[in-house]
Amino acid sequence: MGSNFIFEVSTRFVHRFVILSFVILLASCAEGVNDISQEREVRAPQNIIANPGSRVVGVQWQGVPGATSYSVYWQRDDAVDSKEEANVVTVSEAQFEHRNLTNGLTYYYRVSANTSNGESGLSPQVHATPSQRPPNKPTLARGDTEDSRGFQAFAGDRRVTLLWDSEVAEGASRYTLLWQRGAGVSPASAHRIDDILPPFVHDGLENGQIYSYRLIAVNDEGDSEPSDEIRVTPQASLSYVPSGLTAVPGDAQISINWETYGTEDNYELYWSTNPGVDLNSQYISNIRPPFTHAPLINNQSYFYRVRAIRGQSVSGLSGELRATSGVGGANSYTPLDGGLPSAPASVAMQPGDGQILLQWEPVSGATGYVIYWNTAGNVTSADAALSPVTNVAWFPDVNNELVQRAFYVHMGLQNGQDYFYRIAAMNAAGKTLSEQAMVRPEKIVPGRPANVHVVGGDGWIGARWNPVRNAESYNLYWKVADFGGNTNPGTLIENVSSPFRLDNSYNLGADGGFNGTTVPATISNGMTYEIRVEAVPPGGSISCFPENSPNPNIASKPSPCTEGFSVTPQIPPPVAPNGIRAIPGDGRITIQWESNNDPVDYYHVYWREHSDQPESRRRMDNGRGIPALEGRSEYSQPHSGRTNGKRYYYVVTAVNAGGESPPSKEVWAIPNASKPQAPVLLNARAADSSVTLIWRAPDSNTNYNYNIYYRSAGSNNSTVIPNTGSEITDADPNERLYRQDVSGLRNNVAYYFKVTAISGAGEGVFSSEVSATPFLPPPQQAPGNVQATSGDRQITLNWNSVANADFYNIYWSPTASIDLSESPKTQVINATSFNHTERINGMTYYYRVVAANAGGEGPASDMVFASPQKPIPQTSPSNFSVVAGDGQVRINWQLMQDAEFYHLYWSADLNQPVNQWSRISGIEPGHVQYGLDNGSDYHYFLRAANDGGEGPASTIISVTPHEPAPPTPSGFSVSPGDSQTIVNWDVQARVSYNLYWSTTPGITTGSTVIPNVTPTYLHRNLNNNNTIYYYRLAAVNSGGESPLSQELSADPQPQPLNAPIGLSAQGR
């Protein structure tokens, strides 16, 4: 990994160096060119996630601006360390679905972005392990809607039909049925029927007995939880009312016949010499048609009705037949009220293994159905009949929508034989037969083996699985797992049984299991293999190959294979280590042992304090293990922190890929004290105002405390730091290294150091003396979390503070290349932010931040960039108004200082999504929108905008354009009459008129009004002549009412009588 990383960095450095040199050469040749354009560095994709499924992993990440495609680098069971060693797939979107994987194995992924500027570095690494789980618990059917897709049962005559949909349990590939008489189905005690498919008929049952069922969904990973229990009671089918009675009168007798349905046991004939036969009439029992009634009286009329008997079920009486005894006697039949049902339509037949599922549309008015059938064709009602059918269920149609269908499952048929059917819809009036339909049942291939378990041993693979219904034999396929999506299942081994063991002694066909010479199987420890199993039907052939396989033996693909199961054979665990010794020291014990002859990867050391408590053993290595090294004959492990004088017990185990060995022989030791020797290999490393000391313990067995003595140059007085020093835990434990930081020292002054070891026996001798001079180093870290925030003609930088930094240098450039030796920089003291002003809006600026102190500069931060932008308006326009007019609206608002232009949004539908409203840009206050429909509602809101974007929206204003109110009527006049006034005016188009009046002057719209008047209006029935009436007139339209006309008045007067004409008198 390290060498690959160095090569990648070196190659990138050389590449950039060559580009930079070439650009500088061009710049030197092009007089007057001041700026060198650099390509922007391509960022690696971030926020990558991996979601596992069954044989699939979905990888997603955050898209990179400017990326034209992405490269997905992946490895199986190993990290992706470099592009060169990984598999790669190129995709165009920021997602990748990795299919045809092996469940149970881990896959690792990293992604790069491809742009016109080149390929980015690799994203952070993610991994996922695909796996399949047992199916979900099957659901029950509930109601008559979509819930009817669940598990349900239908009672029949000595049978129960069970139905369920493919959606009853997610992840299922086949099913198992649990059943028992009575309630309370228990998986431990119930009867079990494996490998079934819907519809399933449980026949041979006892009518009137309760049967209970639970359904289990199965796939390659095992069984689901059983469904909830359903209970059903088989019952004998009801008998149908006989119909179609006919009579043939003879000498002193009548022969009677009627239609039969092939399902009744016998009949009862009720008769009388009077019409109106009922159950109180005379009857003859246990008969079948045709039946001759004799002896009778010739020329006597007889009346008959028939009912059917089937077990305990009795039908109603048929219609009445009238017949006259004697040769040639008359006869007639009166059916029951109600017409015949229509013929069943949309008959569909689904063949199965020795069975056929018949479905048809339920017939309105039908009380049940009879199915007639034969194997020759031309089916009539004289052919064999199946029991009366009344079951109706919901079935999915071609669009997967549920429709109600009557149905029946015909069992016990011969596969490959043609069967012909007609279905009769029944009611009391008779029956109507459907058109004839034909279907041929076919052998159902066995399902996939369930509960497959695969294990690996030392050079062998074992597999076992549940038996499969209808399977004559089993095939097993094996191959080295390639993890690349190859669908070829591998080498075929035919006619195997469960359990099966495959090892190097097993001979296989050289050409993959078909014809050819045999060769031994090659099973290697540590190699991962993929195993599949398939069930083979009688006379079946191979199916577990790709769809485009050229092999002629597999074209029919009779049954599916299981998923691929991964297995890795391994060597056996090693034997227990030998030569165990425990060597005591001061507060410590060293355990030693000899290396094993068996292959070993690492060792574990266990210890305890009491010999009579073996269960109290604890591991010494914190779970990491002690690596086994090639060529090493002996190992040791120190156990420090022990109490002198106390006994400790130890065992050692060896571990390899096959597991852990038994424990070794147990040994013990008691730590003891002695005066220590001098610490060795003392080393001093200077830092800022401090020195770090590292030394090795005097021996490999004892734990010590340490004293540190130090002095400055020119001083003879030493300072002591007592009982100090911490063991370096990440070093080789056999080295036993310790360290201590001595702080509070003066920079640029030399100091001298010595160390002693201390045990229970006292302080040991001095180590050799070493010296070091503290100094102020530059900051060791680059500023983190550097952020560039855009403003109006400025960019604000913020970053996290860095330890030991006295100030920060800000390097910047208008191009994507920042050279710390040449790029402009600005120094920032006592702050972790910088405001870069007087920038050009829209231009991109690039920055790197470096922490510094008197010791120099630290590493530079990652590059960040930003483009200044004018801030968008922060408020919505104020005083926004919309005033409706005639087919138009006028828009007004108060101008804003931070707005450069305005966007008006409008819609005639207030419920329309806002992002679909129409927009009018660049308008000014006083804008008028024309062409609107009077009487229609319009809705508006306004946003202020500038080059930075749009501000918040104003409130929505709704208005309705309308035509203007009409003008004041003209030609208004009022004339008096006798107890009435006559009002007139000039007529305007498309208006009506309101007449206001009063007996006092000063008419207003609050005065009495007569609406919808017309010219030459007679104001009648005025009570008082010689009273003055005052009037004003207004015109009205959809825009409102006009101003009132001038006020006029009139004084009604009685009209004088005219002198009689032609008056004459005659005396007497």
Write out the CATH class of domain 450-545+559-567.
mainly beta
Least confident residue range of 98-102, 755-759, 920-924:
98-102
In this structure, CATH architecture of domain 787-866: Sandwich (2.60)
Q: What is the pLDDT of residue 752?
A: 94
Determine the Cα–Cα distance for residues 6 and 14; give it in Å rounded to an integer: 12
Which residues, in sequence order, are CB contacts of 778 under 8 Å at separation 6+? 804, 851, 852, 853, 855, 856, 857, 858
Which helix (DSSP H) or strand (DSSP E) does residue 1026 occupy? none
What is 543-611 written as a DSSP string? Answer: --S-TT---GGGTT--SPBPPPEEE---PPPPPPP---EEEE-SSEEEEEEEPPSS--SEEEEEEES-T
Q: Any idea what the Cα angle at residue 89 is, between residues 84 and 93, rounded to 5°?
A: 130
Q: What is the pLDDT of residue 144?
A: 56
Determine the Cα–Cα distance for residues 363 and 341; give it in Å rounded to an integer: 7
pLDDT per residue as tens digits for the range 38-75:
345 678 898 898 888 777 888 988 888 888 999 999 98
Record the tokens describing residue 255, joined without a space. 């022969």
Overall fold of domain 348-439: Immunoglobulin-like (2.60.40)
3-class DSSP state of 689: coil
Q: Tell me the sheet residues that pair with 303.
A: 272, 322
Record the tokens describing residue 106, joined without a space. 């881990």
Determine the Cα–Cα distance for residues 604 and 27; give it in Å rounded to an integer: 66
**In the predicted model, is pLDDT for residue 23 greater than 50?**
no
Give yes or no on whether 246-325 and 348-439 have one common fold. Answer: yes
Range list of H helices, 253-305: none
Note the CATH number of domain 881-959: 2.60.40.10
| 1068 confidence band (pLDDT: 50, 70, 90) | low
Homologous superfamily (CATH) of 152-232 is Immunoglobulins (2.60.40.10)
- 861 backbone φψ class: left, alpha, beta (φ>0; ψ -120 to 50): beta
Q: What is the pLDDT of residue 547?
A: 38
SS (H, E, C) 838-865: CCCCCCCEEEEEEEEECCEEEEECCCEE
Determine the Cα–Cα distance for residues 658 and 871; give it in Å rounded to an integer: 67
Q: What is the pLDDT of residue 552?
A: 43
Q: What is the pLDDT of residue 262?
A: 67
In this structure, CATH architecture of domain 246-325: Sandwich (2.60)
CA-nearest of 881, 882, 878, 1042 to 960 is: 882
Place of tokens 């680098």: 73
Extents of the domains making up the chain: 46-128, 152-232, 246-325, 348-439, 450-545+559-567, 581-669, 680-772, 787-866, 881-959
Higher pLDDT among residues 127 and 444, named by residue: 127
Q: What is the pLDDT of residue 623?
A: 58
pLDDT per residue as tens digits for the range 349-402:
888 878 899 999 998 888 888 999 999 999 988 888 886 777 888 777 777 778
Determine the Cα–Cα distance for residues 864 and 862; give it in Å rounded to an integer: 7
- Average confidence (pLDDT) over 575-589: 86
Least confident residue range of 7-21, 286-300, 388-402:
7-21
Which residues, in sequence order, are CB contacts of 915 under 8 Å at separation 6+? none
What's the one-letter identity of residue 827? Q
Record the tokens describing residue 157, joined without a space. 């005559």
Which helix (DSSP H) or strand (DSSP E) does residue 151 occupy? none
Homologous superfamily (CATH) of 581-669 is Immunoglobulins (2.60.40.10)
- Whether the CB-CB separation of 611 and 698 falls below 8 Å is answered with no
Record the tokens describing residue 635, joined without a space. 């190992």
Determine the Cα–Cα distance for residues 570 and 947; give it in Å rounded to an integer: 69
Buried-state track 962-981, b at ≥16 Cβ within 10 A, e below 16? beebbebbeebebebbebbb
Record the tokens describing residue 18, joined without a space. 């060559």
Determine the Cα–Cα distance for residues 992 and 1032; give it in Å rounded to an integer: 14
Which helix (DSSP H) or strand (DSSP E) does residue 3 occupy? helix 2-29
pLDDT per residue as tens digits for the range 403-437:
888 889 998 888 888 999 999 888 877 888 899 88
- Whether the CB-CB separation of 139 and 168 falls below 8 Å is answered with yes
What's the one-letter identity of residue 251? D
Cβ neighbours of 196 (radius 10 Å)? 17
- Whether the CB-CB separation of 736 and 775 falls below 8 Å is answered with no
Q: What is the pLDDT of residue 34?
A: 36
- Whether the CB-CB separation of 10 and 3 falls below 8 Å is answered with no
3-class DSSP state of 435: coil
**In the predicted model, is pLDDT for residue 511 greater than 60?**
no
pLDDT per residue as tens digits for the range 717-738:
889 999 888 888 877 777 789 9
**In the predicted model, is pLDDT for residue 5 greater than 50?**
no
Determine the Cα–Cα distance for residues 674 and 984; give it in Å rounded to an integer: 138
**In the predicted model, is pLDDT for residue 272 greater than 90?**
yes
Q: What is the pLDDT of residue 178?
A: 94
Place of tokens 């007004």: 892
Higher pLDDT among residues 935 and 917, named by residue: 917
**In the predicted model, is pLDDT for residue 905 greater than 50?**
yes
User: Quick one: how far is CA 322 from the chain centroid?
Assistant: 72
What's the one-letter identity of residue 219? N
Which residues, in sequence order, are CB contacts of 256 under 8 Å at separation 6+? 245, 246, 247, 269, 289, 290, 291, 292, 293, 304, 306, 321, 323
Q: What is the pLDDT of residue 745?
A: 93
Pairing of strands 1008-1010, 634-640: unpaired
In this structure, CATH architecture of domain 680-772: Sandwich (2.60)
**In the predicted model, is pLDDT for residue 31 greater than 80?**
no
- Whether the CB-CB separation of 386 and 371 falls below 8 Å is answered with yes
Buried-state track 572-611, b at ≥16 Cβ within 10 A, e below 16? ebbebbeebebebbbbbbbbebebbebebebbbbbbbeee
Pairing of strands 211-219, 174-181: antiparallel
**In the predicted model, is pLDDT for residue 26 greater than 50?**
no
3-class DSSP state of 8: helix
Q: What is the pLDDT of residue 550?
A: 43
pLDDT per residue as tens digits for the range 862-899:
999 999 988 889 899 999 999 998 899 999 999 998 88
3-class DSSP state of 198: coil
Q: What is the pLDDT of residue 248?
A: 93
Record the tokens describing residue 501, joined without a space. 């063991």
Higher pLDDT among residues 642 and 611, named by residue: 642
Which letter does DSSP use for residue 147 in this model? G
Which residues, in sequence order, are CB contacts of 555 under 8 Å at separation 6+? none
Q: What is the pLDDT of residue 336?
A: 77
- Average confidence (pLDDT) over 851-859: 89
Pairing of strands 95-98, 57-62: antiparallel
Q: State whether the Cα torsion 275-276-277-280 is positive or negative.
A: negative
pLDDT per residue as tens digits for the range 746-784:
998 999 999 998 877 678 778 888 999 998 889 989 999
Place of tokens 């509930």: 142
User: What percentage of the chain's residues is helix, strand, coil (to nearest 5)?
Assistant: 5, 40, 55
Higher pLDDT among residues 825 and 146, named by residue: 825
- Average confidence (pLDDT) over 977-988: 90
| 518 confidence band (pLDDT: 50, 70, 90) | low
Which letter does DSSP use for residue 616 in this model? G
Please state whether the peptide bond connecting residue 396 to the residue before it is cis, i.e. omega within 30 degrees of 0: no
- Burial class of residue 629, CB neighbours in 10 A (0-12, 13-18, 19+): exposed
- Average confidence (pLDDT) over 563-592: 85
Q: What is the pLDDT of residue 792?
A: 87
- Through-space distance between the first and last CA atoms of the chain, rounded to whole angstroms: 158
Average pLDDT, the chain: 83
pTM above 0.85, yes or no: no
Record the tokens describing residue 156, joined without a space. 């029949």
- Whether the CB-CB separation of 458 and 658 falls below 8 Å is answered with yes
Which letter does DSSP use for residue 21 in this model? H
Write out the CATH class of domain 46-128.
mainly beta
Longest alpha-carbon distance in the chain: 187
